[in-house]
Structure 1
Amino acid sequence: MIEKYNDGNINDVYRIKNKFVDLILRRSKFNNEFETYVLKKLQRYKFDIPLHIVSFYVKNEYIMIYEYIEGDTLKNFSDIEVNQIVNFLLNLHSIEVTKDEIDMKQPREDLQSMYQYIQRLEGEINKQEYCYICTEYEKLYREHINFENLNRCLIHSDIKKENLLINGDKLYVIDFGNCYIGSRLVDIVRVIMWLFLYNEEKIEFERIDKFCCDYFGVFKLNHLEYKMVPFIIRFCLLYNYVKDKYLYSTGILTKNYVNATSAKWFEILNNEDIIHKIEEIIKK
């Protein structure tokens, strides 16, 4: 049996099942060699992730095959799942990375890549929106040296409900396609964005507070990280906003998806009360 799970915006995903195997095959338009490397490394550390079996190229596509995990994507989550996410991040961020790993070709989220997206958006979006993006980028650029000096570790960078599978009492983290070596604060802010802000009618700041207290109670902020919290919040929001707009302009993401995400990130970028409250919670 071959079952197509979805016509992905970026990846097409298939389930291949018979009496001998139960596998997931993913076709990607992008180079995912670093993702393969990370999956193999995390398997050695016994992380709850899908078992990677093999990866290879077919023409211009990168094919990954890994075990199928029976489970449901996380829709509603309790403090138990939040605690599991915290433990996953603590373990991930504690893994030592080598200079060779830092130098490997991998996804990058920095001001240079954001600038490239912004350049490509000129003429693709209305002038008022483009000017707004440029103004926000210029504010971030003033802090780019400090950003580059933050401690770096392995980060997932895209932890959201769709990338979390529940199987019994286990929580599996999937889709490491955006994984890279960067600041752990990016993971913290992205969890807040996707789990506590996006698609939530009412922001439950007490749950954000518990998530941050559980994490930073074990792995405290250093001086530079403390200083850079407001930068990272704005950076993550603007990066998601700009990247999604760019991917829509190239036909990779759908209009409905980008309209929903960009509207939310734009709303938060322009709400100083929310940004300040999140900053206070992280720095608490």
Structure 2
Amino acid sequence: MAPRGGTDLKFTLYGLEHHSDGEVDGEVFAAKLKKLISGLKRLDRDYNTAGQHRFMISNLEFASATVVLREKVMKPRSVRKSPSQRFAEIGAAANSAIPFEVENAADEYALGVYKSLSTGAGKTFSYGVVDATEIAAVRLDKLLKTRVENIISRAIDAANNAEPKYFCGVSYDTHDGTMKLVDLRGLFPEAKLVLSAGGKEVSCVVTRSDVEMLRKSLDRRVLVTGQSQYDGHSMVPSRIDVTNIKIIDLGHNILEFCGSLKNANPSAIEEIG
């Protein structure tokens, strides 16, 4: 039985007819299970916070390719949504004849996981099942893959035709966060700025001549200034074309940087760009 507030999710894969004694290709099962668990972790991050749950194997059924994943709360924070339950709900909705509307990026990602789990049905495995208590079981097969593809396609078309919800364009901004390494090769080296407010990642691009500026800021708290590119779908820029990076000395009070950056204590920052 699932712990209070958690959800048990059962995943089963059935082998092809020519496989003897109900055998299932181990490589196929392992790849599908890996995709399922990584998908649940991503949904947990989107609905709650990264690492809010771990997905523990609570049961492996004898002589079958069946595994039961149990949510285990790892952080003492309120759970907004059970990722396993929401995943099962999305699959059940997509599997029904009732039109399913994608509410957010997390829902679209979950549909992508179902597409991946259904890929290969009838070729590398017969079919699969995702099952959670009190939610209709989802059959992973060619039909589900087609339905999911259609739902995703409609959602993309609707998003492309919708008016931008947020600012769309370019703005010269400064953002506070921690710089993480991605790729310093090529003409336009890139890193990821993990924003201090909210923890979202933003792509930061510099020219080849400014790569040393980027290198010095890696794994440090910084203020990044540049042309921020907004796509209208989020308040967070999709990319920053960096012109200046200032390293924040964490020995000083970060509250000094609130409000106008023009009044920031110059002794608490190191300008490297």
Same fold (TM over 0.5): no
TM-score normalised by the shorter chain: which range applies?
under 0.3
Write 1 or 2 for the structure with the bigger share of helix.
Answer: 1
Q: TM-score, normalised on structure 1?
A: 0.26
* TM-score (norm. length: structure 2): 0.27
Q: Which is richer in strand?
A: 2
| Higher RCO structure, 1 or 2 (CA under 8 Å, sep 6+) | 1
Larger radius of gyration: 2
